[in-house]
Structure 1
Amino acid sequence: MSARDGIMRRLRAGLEGSQPRPDEFDATLVTRPWRYDSTEARVERLTRLMEAVHTEVHRTTQGDWPQRLYEQLRTRGIPNLLFAPETPHGSQLSKAWEVNGSEIHLTPWDGPIEEWKETLFNDVSASLTGSVGGIAATGTLAIWPDRHEPRLMSLVPPLHIALLKASTIADNLYNLMQTQDWASGMPTNLLLVSGPSKTADIEQVLAYGAHGPKELITLILEDA
């Protein structure tokens, strides 16, 4: 018998004859104060809270966001953009770039992180990722990294652009978890992001980009 099996056997033996405590969790305690009447109300609250912490928010549509993205990159003089070509939004971006003949170079993430570190930290100017939803109560993006869009894509480049569907903005974190049934398959990592990275030293001087992106742009995609 392994040490692990021995520990589990003793734990199970210690539970013999016991009864589990009833689940007395009251969801209304964490949901009632944070409810909003409509998608528009959720979008407006999330926008207001994210802009309060230096996030730039733009409302656009499912079909027009690549053009809005291009305008933001061109305005900032961004030479390249890291993206995930195997995602639906990555495929849409590639097609839009082919049509527009953009001078901004698309850099596809297509290999293990060990082969990307030098490029990611030294050469990438901006990155684009999707998100699984938003939280109106706190003005937060929920980003679910995977093999196509590893978490470093949103944590390292100086400029991070995130796509957020308006229909996926929930009232609060509890509602987002319940609606998307996170309990059935939690990720190994989940990022909750409200703005660009920031920190303050002992003199309480706030600095942006000390340990992550200096800028965060959120493109809210409406159904129209």
Structure 2
Amino acid sequence: MSARTKPTIDSTSRERMLARLRAAPASHSAIDNAARLGQRIDAHYASRLERQGTAPLDLPAVFQTMLETARARVWRADARSWPALLAQQLHESGIRRLLMDPASAEGAALSDALPPSVEAISYLRPLEQWKTELFDTVDAGFTVARSGIAATGTVILAPDAGTPRTVSLVPPLHIALVYADTLHRDLHAAARAERWSEGMPTNLVLVSGPSKTSDIQQTLAYGAHGPSRLWVVIVDPDDMAAGATS
């Protein structure tokens, strides 16, 4: 029995293929195809908006409704009151260790408001040095969202060195702070307004509710691949802030 060998492409065939690609008309280039696809997507969303009506939506209200539908807890507050509100909720929920970036403006504000019962922990060590401690003793992770998508209740995160993806992925409770003026109507609006095509972040995370999965029998389980709970604080302008809602 002879062994089967994996077919290979010789250098002559490879050069012929590359030559055909280089000689292809400019109108059929990948850039032109992407531009045409972008125009089709824009036209689709414009048509849908026209059918739905162009009246402005209350994006924070829609965002909150969709998040709560996905089993997230949501509060709305202004820029001055959210740290105390969140600190109180952490204390009442028995959170003891909170992973966050105290160097950020929001992290510093929350740190100042935390009661003695809640310890703020920064992500300063390589994961290998404290993996067991992180997985076994950290109760929650706090992040500041880049923006949000109202139609789906989606929090958009852009992890960085101070708040890597681990902060929103490992602790059983993920807490996200979202500014109301960063909310977009839908995914298309977010991609266009933030100009993703001109500089897509290397790691953009979209969170729509707590982590959930289901088996072949359609039994839904939370927390199998990430946090089982999601809290979101929507920071409104001072004249829009509403009372806390759970």
Q: Which TM-score band (shorter chain)? A: 0.7 to 0.9
Q: 1:50 is matched with which residue?
A: 67
Distance 1:9 1:177 in 2: 38
Which of 70, 80, 86 is the aligned partner of 1:69?
Answer: 86
Q: 1:24-173 to 2 correspondence within 5 Å?
A: 24=36, 25-26=39-40, 27-33=42-48, 37-38=55-56, 41-97=58-114, 101-173=115-187
Distance 1:12 1:178 in 2: 35
Q: Which runs of 5+ in 1 are unaligned?
A: 1-6
**CA deviations over 1:131-170 (Å, ceiling 9, x no partner):** 1111112111111111111111101101110000000000
Number of residues paired by the alignment?
216
Indicate the percent of aligned positions where both proteins have the same amino acid: 37
1:31/1:172 contact within 8 Å kept: no
Q: 1:180 is matched with which residue?
A: 194
Distance 2:204 2:233 in 1: 20
Q: Is the deviation greater in 176-185 or in 63-72?
A: 176-185
Q: 2:26 is matched with which residue?
A: 19
The structure in which a higher percent of residues are helix is 2
Cα shift at 1:175: 1.4
Q: 1:4 is matched with which residue?
A: none
**CA deviations over 1:103-154 (Å, ceiling 9, x no partner):** 2111111122222322211110011001111111211111111111111110
1:31/1:175 contact within 8 Å kept: no
Tell me the TM-score normalised to structure 1 length: 0.86
Q: In structure 2, do the counterparts of structure 1 residues 115 and 73 end up closer, same or farther at CA, with 3 Å as the change threshold?
A: same
Q: 1:204 is matched with which residue?
A: 218
Distance 1:112 1:9 in 2: 48
Distance 2:76 2:15 in 1: 52
Distance 2:136 2:196 in 1: 35
Distance 2:45 2:139 in 1: 39
Distance 2:141 2:185 in 1: 27
Distance 1:9 1:107 in 2: 58
Cα shift at 1:91: 2.0
User: What residue identity is the alignment partner of 1:16?
Assistant: A
Distance 1:184 1:215 in 2: 34
2:157/2:205 contact within 8 Å kept: yes
C-alpha RMSD of the superposition = 2.4
2:99/2:141 contact within 8 Å kept: yes
Q: Is the deviation greater in 112-121 or in 75-84?
A: 112-121
Distance 2:169 2:146 in 1: 17
Bigger radius of gyration among the two: 2
Distance 2:133 2:198 in 1: 36
